[in-house]
Amino acid sequence: PQTIYLKDYTPFGWTAEEVHLTFVLAPTATRVRSRIRFAPNSDAPKQDFFLHGEQLTPISFAIDGAPVTPEVTDTGLTCAVPEGVFTWEAEVEIAPVENFALEGLYMSNGMYCTQCEAEGFRKITFYPDRPDVMSVFTVRIEGDERVKLSNGNPQGSGEGWAEWHDPWPKPAYLFALVAGDLVNHPGSFTTLSGREVELNLWVRPGDECKCAFGMEALKKSMKWDEEVYGREYDLDIFNIVAVDDFNMGAMENKGLNIFNSSAVLASPETATDANFERIEAIIAHEYFHNWTGNRITCRDWFQLCLKEGLTVFRDAQFTSDMRGEEVKRISDVIDLRGRQFPEDQGPLSHPVRPESFQEINNFYTATVYEKGAEVIGMLKTLVGDEAYAKALDLYFERHDGDAATIEDWLKVFEDATGRDLTQFKRWYSQAGTPHVAVSEAFSDGTYTLTLRQHTPPTPGQPEKAPQVIPVAVGLLSPNGDEVAPTTVLELTEAEQSFTFDGLSAKPVPSILRGFSAPVVLERESSKEERAFLLAHDTDSFNRWEANRDLARECLVAMITEGAAPDTAWLDGLEAVIRDSALDPAYRALMLGTPTQSELAQVLHQRGVTPDPDAIWTATEVLKKTRAERWSKLLPQLAEEAKVTEPYQPDAEQSGKRALGGAVLALTSRLDGGDAARTQFESADNMTLQLSALACLVQAGAGEDALAKFRAQWNGDRLVMDKWFALQVAASGPSETADRAKALTEDPDFDWKNPNRFRAVMGGLAMNHAGFHRIDGAGYRLLADWLIRLDEKNPQTTARMCSAFQTWKRYDETRRGMMQAELEKIAAKPGLSRDVTEMVTRLLS
Ligand code: DPP
Ligand code: ZN
């Protein structure tokens, strides 16, 4: 496969003035006619006229009405064209019903739908399929009697046809079309300037009862973006469509967002609190893209973080405002460490703005999204809230209608603040997680913190230069008072010292408050000091972090030295979770422990080869110990966590249920699942039902409940995804692979549906000890299924290859088996470009 480089960027030789598309829909033979006015682009070097196009059957081509014969290859066409402005016409045929890759125009349950980001439009018609070619689209849809939607505003319809016009110039990746048997959950929104916008949530008949929450989330998002960013919606209508077969979570097509049904449909009976929160965030995310992504798009795909990092940052701000800042921040850091750190520390490591790729779909990663959002957060911390707001106003003003770059983005901040961001820009170009080591000194009332930064080598980047790292620090006196409030230290050198004067005693530092930078903090500190911070830190994030550190050290000692659980820590933690002044959601997070793969990562960093079985055993012993130690406390907490009001998926109730769920998991260690069974039987919402079911399966007492659950939810695809996922995720390590295998033989294992495939195979990959079973059954099962799925859906297959990204850290036996599986995948004839690139990087 060909490698594409950022440094080779050249503009397209023409602009597309306007685009007219006509679709005559038919499952096996859809006709697509395009009429495009091209004009020479004076900013571009001279070049051949090339249009992308893949898997298209050409029917006819014409320029200014006269037939032409372009040269067509697997990837597109070239054609001789006139000097000036001309009208290009083409007719092609495609077969949506045979499209299992779910890129371009495809069918899901009889419904036509599209996914064009990043490069799906070239599977619909011949086109300059690149984000810097923006045009005004008019779309006519024929050949289907059902609901027909496209971008923009409707401009007419009749028997068997509908026309849509989008006045906003857009790149082809934001094109969308939907046609199907859909019902509408309507709503409306009045914008800041008083315009009435029609809102519609389109779903399959039967799903109407799962729409109300998503509609409210949309309205909240629209209002929030007006209030916080001054951004108003810009069309008369906003449509969202739910589709069952979808590779991603959702897609921000202009005026016609398409959602994986799991990311929009919810009712109390069928969706968990976590589902509701995720739905609210994704609806916000896609809506926010209307400005950060659509109105201002990316010049090329290397700039993906320009829209994704910023939009993730915006949706995180939104969730903080809706649900509470401290809990959101902690959850995001858990997620970052769970998904982005392993990526950054392994063979798939790449900068937030990559400089080369073979298949862009492989770069929709935690690094581009989540680390990309962290970079925005650091920028905001460094310049301050006011300057951030000013810079964003300037960004919207200066770049509205542009296909922009990271350089444009940073220039806006430089112009708005007068700050030089040359060094800061390294966050976009250097891969890897920086480590920050801390040492300290105290004399004559002056406390000195010395910070040293170092980023380990990553593929293609052996040497790293120092980055700008905002380190938020506060100081506490030995009696727990804050003697220096949070200040942001700007670490810019490899090593730098910062002093605090006028202190009467050596303070206890609270470093990297709020997780002010995505780094690994290295600090020798005593258990006593951590326990002190757990009890006293005024920064809620670092208070949680102190607990996390203690949990990690306890588990590491159990794993490597066979130590007993640290009871001093458990007592300190008990004091926190007993404190009913603290938010239940926060206490639930305090009850969480590092994941097994996080522990494997820590051990590896300390030069110890992780043993998945030993890690599993230690976490089990710890859970059991906690349950026994807190046997009197648990019923009290369960009582506190009870919700008596009717179900609401809001932060307050969800927090209580999260605490209740954590308590139930511990209780099940003592009662063999009795309490869980009671909860399972009486639950009137999915959160309680599913957490109870997980406890039962975990306790090895779940067979009846699983059967009941299935009987109850057989007709509901989203709930059945949970049924598949949970069995694999909650099973003991010796049976995980067998369970997963048995489930792949279940008649309801519709493996071409990405949600169902991910439920089973994602569950397998995430069950650390189960996946790494020493006979290699987990590796084999996953690899065999990846090989099979690749023939249908390369994008989802390629994403799931990252299950192997940590393969090099394990013992020789496991490493050898994983390598063999990766080589087996690589050797498959006809392997997709997507998976070829992933496996090559993994093996390098
Ligand atoms: N739909 C994906 C997202 O919103 C890609 N743009 O992040
Ligand atoms: Zn996005």
Task: Write the single-letter amino acid at 478.
Answer: P
| 257 shares its domain with 305 | no
Which residues' Cβ are closer than 6 Å to ligand 1? 117, 248, 250-252, 285-286, 289, 308
Nearest-atom number in ligand 1 for the CA of 308 is: 7
702 is a domain residue: no
Shortest-distance Cα residue to atom 2 of ligand 1: 251
Closest CA to 246 of 54, 107, 96: 107
Share of the chain above pLDDT 90, in %: 100
| 32 shares its domain with 166 | yes
**pLDDT one-digit tens code per residue, 448-500:** 999 999 999 999 999 999 999 999 999 999 999 999 999 999 999 999 999 99
| 344 shares its domain with 239 | no
Do the beta carbons of residue 451 and residue 496 sit within 8 Å?
A: yes
| 20 shares its domain with 164 | yes
- Taking residues 268-272, what's their average pLDDT? 98
DSSP letter (8 states) at residue 761: I
Q: How far is the CA of 264 from the centre of ligand 2 (A)?
A: 15
Mean pLDDT across the chain, nearest whole number? 98
308 alpha carbon, closest ligand: 2
Q: What is the number of domains present in the chain?
A: 3
State the residue range of the domain holding 719: 714-844
**pLDDT one-digit tens code per residue, 786-833:** 999 999 999 999 999 999 999 999 999 999 999 999 999 999 999 999
Q: How far is the CA of 286 from the centre of ligand 1 (A)?
A: 7
Mutating to test ligand 1, I would choose from 114, 173, 252 the residue with most ligand atoms within 8 A of its C-beta, which is 252
Burial of 669 by CB count in 10 Å (0-12 exposed, 13-18 middle, 19+ buried)?
Answer: buried
Domain boundary residue, one of 261, 284, 309: 261
Query: Can you give the pLDDT at residue 774?
Result: 98
Cα separation of 521 and 335, whole Å? 17
- Taking residues 135-152, what's their average pLDDT? 98
| 320 shares its domain with 386 | yes
638 is a domain residue: no
pLDDT score of 1 more than 90: no
173 alpha carbon, closest ligand: 1
pLDDT score of 757 more than 90: yes
145: annotated active-site residue = no
In which element (H, E) is residue 833 found? Answer: helix 833-843
CATH number at residue 395: 1.10.390.10
The most distant pair of C-alpha atoms in the chain lies apart, rounded to whole Å, by 89
Tokens 């027909």, residue located: 148
Q: How far is the CA of 263 from the centre of ligand 2 (A)?
A: 13
Domain boundary residue, one of 412, 429, 446: 429
| 162 shares its domain with 70 | yes
Cα separation of 408 and 397, whole Å? 12
As given in the structure block, the two tokens for residue 443 are 């004399």
| 207 shares its domain with 109 | yes
Query: Can you give the pLDDT at residue 230?
Result: 98
439 is a domain residue: no
Nearest-atom number in ligand 1 for the CA of 312 is: 7
| 359 shares its domain with 220 | no
CATH number at residue 781: 1.25.50.10
Q: How far is the CA of 223 from the centre of ligand 1 (A)?
A: 21
| 203 shares its domain with 305 | no
| 323 shares its domain with 236 | no
| Interface pTM, i.e. ipTM | 0.98
CATH number at residue 96: 2.60.40.1730
Active-site pick, 286, 308, 359, 374: 286
74 is a domain residue: yes
| 107 shares its domain with 51 | yes
Residue spans of beta strands (DSSP E) within 253-412: 256-260, 297-298, 356-357, 403-404
Shortest-distance Cα residue to atom 3 of ligand 1: 251
585 is a domain residue: no
Domain boundary residue, one of 397, 429, 461: 429
User: DSSP states of 672-710 as a string?
Assistant: TTHHHHHHHHH--SHHHHHHHHHHHHHTT--HHHHHHHH
732 is a domain residue: yes
- Taking residues 434-451, what's their average pLDDT? 98
Q: How far is the CA of 363 from the centre of ligand 1 (A)?
A: 12
783 is a domain residue: yes
210 is a domain residue: yes
- Taking residues 253-259, what's their average pLDDT? 99
| 307 shares its domain with 229 | no
174 alpha carbon, closest ligand: 1
